Copies of this chain bind each other. A is one copy, B any other.
Amino acid sequence: MVGKRSSRDIRSESRLDVLHGLLSAGTSTRNELAQTTGLSVATVATIVQELRGEGLVVDAGSSALGAGRPTTMLRVNGERGRILGIDVAETYVRAIVFDASLEEVGSVEVPMDESLPSASSVTESIVRAVDTALRETAIDRERVLGAGIALPGLVSAEESADAVAPRWAARNVEVLRQLRQRIGLPLVVENPLKAIATAELWFGRGRTASSMVIANLGTGVGAGIVLEGKILRGATHSAGEWGHAVLVLDGRACRCGRRGCVEAYVGAPGIQLTLREIAPEHELADAAQRDFIEGLASAHRKSGGDPVIEEVLSRTAHYLGVALGDLAAIIDPEVLMLTGWTAWALGDDLVEPTKQELQRRAPVGATTPIDLGVSTVRGSSVAIGMATLAFERFLGDVGLSTTRLPLAL
């Protein structure tokens, strides 16, 4: 049978809403929280009481607005503890330390320069990143409420293999086994797309949109899908594999082994291939990925632009518009967001022509304008999202949340 929500789940969601409202407002009164969450003042008061009981919410002075008696301002108690968000990428591990109000306290990055790191090597890098981060920020391990680790290629709780980062997939089972023994902290593990969607849900447009698709553009490409305030995980934990949907039937070879995938056209290497198709001798044709994208952005912004660059951006917007249009046609989200270093670097140079392409492809006479933008959650949205999931797990551990997390060790 389908999983059902109980009254207990509803209370749990209300608590998350109150925390959510308090985190984004910074400080807030009970009445203001009732307004932003749509809960009754009595319910908010009960929840605040529970959160104070766990030391998660504290007073932040009082406000004496108007003629009434002063009302107590509240804030999330950052000093309640520390939370780690860990982004395991293909070439590095980054560990970011957050306080309990999810403000960044410090971070470290540990390189993994092997091209095909072993499970032990991945585990070592994670353990080293965690230890270094705690030492550099002078945090006792006992003060850490939890850690969230984003592992690429984590497809399902049963750890089936994966098309996107196949060299990771088989290893993850072993990495998880080793981490369970080595890390000594309450852990949650997710894949990076779900982490990005979580960050956007808590700290970006997801706060106000009822449904959202967030497309990540970097070396790889993928999407996080948020429906009614929840991340769509999928039956095998792999919803949002939009990067390997087909854009061009039997088109360009993709690193997943198939042909014509979205990623092969709008991933950074794909965009560079578009340039090489137009002008094989162009000075950016053989640049390193990030230099190439930065070069594209700065060349476009120069006056008297390079026609090759303009053509690359125009074709990329065409590919991206069509691919996002398909995603939008299937999900019909309220908001479409772009994130990832390619989206950040190109910004409106990419968003504006993509929006035009989307508008051209919208249903005839559709009146709803396309709501497409670049995420305002910057820095490591993967680490931010993972810290948020670790925070949710902590709330579960102290009995304040019933959220079922996919992989909590």
Residues of chain A touching chain B, judged by Cβ–Cβ distance below 8 Å, are: 1-7, 10, 13-14, 36-38, 155, 158, 160-164, 166, 169-170, 208, 210-211, 223, 225, 227-229, 232-242, 244-249, 251, 256-258, 319, 322-323, 325-327, 329-334, 361-368
Report whether A7 and B4 are in contact in the complex, using a CB–CB cutoff of 8 Å: no
Copies in the complex: 2
What CA separation (Å) do A331 and B213 show in the bound complex?
Answer: 12
* A330 and B242 contact, Cβ closer than 8 Å, known pairs A210-B3, A251-B249, A365-B169: yes
What CA separation (Å) do A10 and B8 show in the bound complex?
Answer: 11
Contacts of A244 in B (CB 8 A): 329
What CA separation (Å) do A235 and B225 show in the bound complex?
Answer: 13
What CA separation (Å) do A331 and B208 show in the bound complex?
Answer: 23
Q: Which of B232, B237, B333, B364 contacts A234 (CB 8 A)?
A: B333
Contacts of A362 in B (CB 8 A): 163
Report whether B210 and A235 are in contact in the complex, using a CB–CB cutoff of 8 Å: yes
Q: Which of B170, B238, B248, B364 contacts A248 (CB 8 A)?
A: B248
Q: Which of B2, B251, B331 contacts A330 (CB 8 A)?
A: B331
Contacts of A258 in B (CB 8 A): 361
Contacts of A249 in B (CB 8 A): 247-249, 251, 319, 322
Contacts of A7 in B (CB 8 A): 7, 10
Report whether B248 and A4 are in contact in the complex, using a CB–CB cutoff of 8 Å: no
Q: Which of B208, B229, B236, B334 contacts A332 (CB 8 A)?
A: B236
User: Can you list 21 contacts pairing A with B, beta carbon distance less than 8 Å?
Assistant: A1-B36, A1-B37, A1-B38, A2-B229, A4-B14, A10-B10, A155-B363, A155-B366, A161-B364, A163-B364, A227-B232, A233-B332, A235-B333, A235-B368, A241-B330, A242-B329, A244-B329, A247-B249, A248-B249, A258-B361, A326-B326
Contacts of A257 in B (CB 8 A): 364
CB distance from A163 to the nearest CB of B (A): 4
Contacts of A326 in B (CB 8 A): 245-246, 326
